[in-house]
Amino acid sequence: MFDVLFSAISIFFTLQNMLVVILGLFIGITIGAIPGLNVPMTVALLLPITFYMDPVAGLSLLMGVYKGGTYGGSISAVLLNTPGAPAAAVTGIDGYPLAQQGKAGKALRASIYGSVIGEFIADIVLISLAAQIARVALRFGPTEKFSLVVFALVTIGVVSSRHKLKGIAAGLLGIAFYTVGIEPVSAATRFTFGIFQLIGGVPFLPMLIGLFAVSEFFVHIERKSGAGGAETVVPVSSRREDNYVTWAEFKASIRTVLRSTAIGIGIGALPGSGSAISAYVSYGAAKSASRNPESFGEGSLEGVFAAETANNAAVGGALIPLLTLGIPGDAITAILLGVFLVHGIVPGPELFTRSADIIYPVFVGLIVANILHYVIASAGLRLFMRVIQVSRALLFPAVIVICVTGAYTVSSTVFDVYIMLFFGILGYLMKKFDFPVAPLLMGYILGSLLEKSLVQALIVGRGSLLPFVTRPISLLFLLLTLFFVVWSAIGHRRQCR
C-alpha cells in the first residue's frame, strides 16, 4: 500500500499537475460565482482540451474546476443573494442576512471552512471506503429515490420559511413549472399553452437568474433610500469579529460540520441526487438539531456551515459510484466518465488494479486541491468583499447586463430573456409576500427525479403502492419525513407560546 502511495505522490507532484489544479480551482471559483454560468458547462467546454493532456493532468484540471465551482456559487449567494449554483441557494438563506448585518466576511469564511473540511473528509472516505459505500448505494431503487426526494422536498419547504405552508406551496409551484414541456414516459406535450419554445420545458438558467438576481434588483429598487446611487448593497463592518469566524463559533458548529459531511457523502453517492439535495437535507437536519432554530433564515452561521459543508462533501460522494461502479453521480461526473473512457480507463471494480498508476495520483491531486482551495479562496476573500462596497448605481447595471447576457446565451433567443423577466417579477412578488424562493427552484430541479422514480416504481410494482412502505430504506425515508414534519410542528407551537 505504501509503495503505491509513494509512487502516486511522485507521479502527481510535477509542475504541470500543480499548475493545472491551480488553474482549475481559479476557473471553477470564478465561473461558480457568476450567476448564469455553470460548472457542467465549463467542464464540458474544457473536455476536448484534456484529450491532449496526460490523463492525470487532464483529470486534475477538471477536478479542480469541479471543486472550485461547487464552492464558488456561495460567493454571489452571500454577497448578492444570487446563487451561482442551485445548491448555493441554501447558503444564501443565512449567508445573505449575515451580509446585510455587515458580516459578509464571516459568512464567506464559514463557507470556505465548511467547503474545505467537507471536501477533505469526503475525499478520505472516497479513497478508503469507496467500494463499501457503493454497495449501499446499489440498494437504492426507484422507490427509495422517490422517498428520498419526498423527504428532501418536505425538508426544503419546512426549513426555508417561518410560514411552513408557504415554503411547501413554493416547492409545489416549482414542481408545476417542471411539468411544462414533453412528458418523459409517453412523450406527450403538456402545459405549453401553444408556445413552441416551451416544448423543451422551462429553461433552467433564465429561471435561476430571474428568481434570484432580477428579483433582488426589483427589491432594491423598492427599498431605494435618499442615499440614491451612492448607497451600497449591504453594509460592511470594520469590526474584526464581524469578518472572521472565532474559535468559539467554529467549535459550536463542529457537530453540524461533521453531520453535514456525512449527509453530503451519503446523498452524493446516490446516482442522480447531487449537491443540491445534500445541502437542503443537511440544512434541515442542522435546524432540527440546533438549540436556536429560530435563528435559521435570519443569519445563522450554523446554517452556512451546514449548507456549504454538505454541498462540497457531495463532490467526493458523487465520485464514489463513478469510480467503483462506472455510474455517474451527477452531471459533472457524467462528463468525467467521458474523460476516463477517452483515455482508455474503464471505471468499475477493476479500476484500482488495472489503472492504479492513474487513479491513485488523481487521489493525491484531490487532497492537494483541497489545500490549494483554502489558499486561493482565502486570498481572494478581500477581492470578493470589494464587490459589496461598489455603489448601487454601478453594481446593479453591471449585474443586469450579466443577467441578460447569461439568459440570452443559453439558447441565443430573446424568449429566454422574457422567461428571465417573468421569473424576476414572480420572485419579487414572492419575496414581497414572504414566500421563500429557494423551494420553488428545488421543486423544479427535483421534479424530474420525483416523476421518473414514481413512474418506474409503479411500473415495477404493477401499480401497487405497497413497495414504498415494505422496502426498508424507502420506509425509513418516509418515516423520517413524518418525524421531521411532526418535530417541526411541535417546535413551531412552542415558539408561538
**Helices marked H in 290-355 — which ranges?**
301-325, 331-342, 351-354
Closest CA to 171 of 161, 157, 158, 159: 157
The whole-angstrom separation of Cα 482 and Cα 497 is: 23
Whole-number mean pLDDT of the chain? 80
Mean pLDDT for 74-85 is 79
Beta-carbon count within 10 A of 273 CB: 26
Cβ neighbours for 69, distance < 8 A, ≥ 6 positions apart = 27, 28, 29, 31, 32, 38, 39, 42, 85
Confidence at residue 369, expressed as pLDDT on a 0 to 100 scale? 92
Cβ neighbours for 362, distance < 8 A, ≥ 6 positions apart = 12, 56, 59, 60, 63
Q: What is the dihedral of CA 128, 278, 116, 216, to 10 degrees?
A: 160
Instruction: Tell me the per-residue pLDDT of 359-400, one tens digit each, with 9 for 90 and over.
Output: 888 889 999 999 999 999 888 887 776 665 555 566 667 777
Confidence at residue 25, expressed as pLDDT on a 0 to 100 scale? 92
Confidence at residue 437, expressed as pLDDT on a 0 to 100 scale? 81
Mean pLDDT for 182-191 is 82
The whole-angstrom separation of Cα 156 and Cα 280 is: 6
Phi, psi of 232 (to 5 degrees): -90, 165
Adjacent-strand bridge partners of 190: 181
Mean pLDDT for 200-228 is 74
Adjacent-strand bridge partners of 181: 190
Confidence at residue 275, expressed as pLDDT on a 0 to 100 scale? 76
189: amino acid identity, one letter: T
490 has pLDDT over 90: no
Confidence at residue 21, expressed as pLDDT on a 0 to 100 scale? 93
Contact 387, 76 (CB under 8 A): no
Confidence at residue 226, expressed as pLDDT on a 0 to 100 scale? 42
Report angle CA 154, 158, 161 to the nearest 5 degrees.
Answer: 140
Cβ neighbours for 397, distance < 8 A, ≥ 6 positions apart = none
The whole-angstrom separation of Cα 150 and Cα 206 is: 26
The whole-angstrom separation of Cα 133 and Cα 138 is: 9
Mean pLDDT for 445-459 is 85
Q: Which helix (H) or strand (E) holds 189?
A: strand 189-190
Report angle CA 198, 204, 209 to the nearest 5 degrees.
Answer: 120
Mean pLDDT for 16-20 is 91
Confidence at residue 40, expressed as pLDDT on a 0 to 100 scale? 72
488 has pLDDT over 60: yes
Instruction: Tell me the per-residue pLDDT of 89-129, one tens digit each, with 9 for 90 and over.
Output: 888 888 889 988 888 888 899 999 999 999 999 999 888 87
Mean pLDDT for 47-62 is 84
Mean pLDDT for 167-191 is 85
The pLDDT-based confidence of 472 (bands split at 50, 70, 90) is confident
Mean pLDDT for 182-211 is 84
134 has pLDDT over 60: no
Closest CA to 109 of 295, 305, 277, 300: 305
Confidence at residue 405, expressed as pLDDT on a 0 to 100 scale? 81
Is the pTM for the entire model greater than 0.75?
Answer: no
CA dihedral sign of residues 13, 16, 19, 21: negative
Instruction: Tell me the per-residue pLDDT of 393-420, one tens digit each, with 9 for 90 and over.
Output: 666 677 778 778 878 876 788 998 999 9
Adjacent-strand bridge partners of 189: 182
196 has pLDDT over 90: no
Mean pLDDT for 248-265 is 90
Longest C-alpha distance within the chain, in Å? 68
Closest CA to 177 of 459, 464, 423: 423
227 has pLDDT over 50: no
Q: Comparing 95-104, 132-141, 343-352, 477-486, which segment has the lowest mean pLDDT?
A: 132-141
More confident residue, 278 or 371: 371
More confident residue, 149 or 178: 178
Percent of the chain scored above 70 by pLDDT? 83
286 has pLDDT over 60: yes
Burial of 398 (0-12, 13-18, 19+ CB in 10 A): exposed
Closest CA to 233 of 378, 388, 348, 354: 388
Closest CA to 39 of 318, 442, 305: 318
Mean pLDDT for 188-215 is 84
Q: Which helix (H) or strand (E) holds 105?
A: helix 104-137
Instruction: Tell me the per-residue pLDDT of 144-155, one tens digit each, with 9 for 90 and over.
Output: 888 888 887 777
Contact 370, 120 (CB under 8 A): yes
Confidence at residue 37, expressed as pLDDT on a 0 to 100 scale? 63
Confidence at residue 114, expressed as pLDDT on a 0 to 100 scale? 92
Q: Comparing 101-105, 216-220, 251-255, which segment has the lowest mean pLDDT?
A: 216-220
Mean pLDDT for 323-337 is 71
N- to C-terminal Cα separation, the chain: 60
Mean pLDDT for 159-186 is 80
Mean pLDDT for 242-265 is 88
Confidence at residue 138, expressed as pLDDT on a 0 to 100 scale? 63
Burial of 194 (0-12, 13-18, 19+ CB in 10 A): exposed
* Residue 188 grid coordinates: 406527450
Confidence at residue 36, expressed as pLDDT on a 0 to 100 scale? 57
The pLDDT-based confidence of 329 (bands split at 50, 70, 90) is low
Q: Comparing 135-139, 424-428, 429-433, which segment has the lowest mean pLDDT?
A: 135-139
264 has pLDDT over 70: yes
Contact 141, 457 (CB under 8 A): yes
Mean pLDDT for 347-357 is 74
